[in-house]
């Protein structure tokens, strides 16, 4: 008798769970480009770690192009076999593929990409979305994922 009551209880709990749990709980939001946004966030986090590591361990300053009034990240300072990044992250524009003098080009960047990566005065990485074709970015010149990648 106890076994029968236990089995009925289990069946009722499973039936309620199946009925009450939304079917789209684990599906991507239909209003977002989850792959592009995930890639954007990955690059942003990677650059934040690398620029912080550069400040703390390498030169005690941020890796920005000296001539840049916008504090554009000089990714060539971060890339190399013994550096903080092994290769240039996806999605970087040509303005980022420079050393701190603004000269060297370490490759891997393209102006067909939409994001130029910069540092604010506190060392936080942010991006500026640049329209390659008018209307590419949800909000041009704005920080954050703007609905397009790379």
Over residues 87-116, the mean pLDDT reads: 94
CA atoms within 13 A on the CB side of 1: 0
pLDDT for residue 8: 66
Give the integer Cα–Cα distance in Å for 129 and 52. 22
pLDDT for residue 25: 41
Angle at 71 between CA 122 and CA 105, to 5 degrees: 135
pLDDT grade for 66, boundaries at 50, 70 and 90: confident
pLDDT for residue 2: 65
pLDDT for residue 98: 94
Averaged pLDDT of the chain? 84
Dump pLDDT digits (tens) for 9-63. Answer: 656 546 544 455 554 444 444 445 589 999 999 999 999 999 999 999 877 889 9
Q: Which tops the pLDDT comparison, 74 or 58?
A: 74
Q: In the chain, where are the structural domains located? A: 34-150
- Put simply, whether the predicted model's pTM sits higher than 0.85 gets the answer no
Q: Quick count: other Cβ atoms within 10 Å of Cβ 37? A: 17
Over residues 93-109, the mean pLDDT reads: 93
Give the integer Cα–Cα distance in Å for 105 and 127. 20
């Amino acid at each position: 008798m106890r076994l029968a009551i236990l089995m009925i209880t289990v069946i009722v709990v499973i039936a309620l769970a199946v009925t009450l749990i939304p079917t789209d709980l684990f599906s991507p939001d239909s209003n977002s480009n989850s792959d592009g946004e995930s890639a954007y966030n990955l690059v942003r986090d990677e650059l934040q770690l690398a620029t912080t590591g550069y400040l703390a361990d390498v030169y005690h300053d941020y890796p920005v192009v000296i001539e840049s009034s916008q504090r554009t990240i000089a990714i060539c300072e971060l890339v190399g076999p013994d550096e903080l990044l092994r290769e240039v992250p996806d999605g970087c524009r040509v303005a980022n593929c420079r050393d701190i003098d603004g000269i060297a080009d370490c490759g891997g960047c393209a102006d067909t990409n939409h994001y130029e990566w910069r540092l604010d005065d506190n060392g936080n990485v942010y991006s500026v979305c640049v329209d390659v074709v008018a209307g590419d970015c949800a909000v041009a010149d704005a920080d954050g994922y703007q609905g397009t990648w790379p």
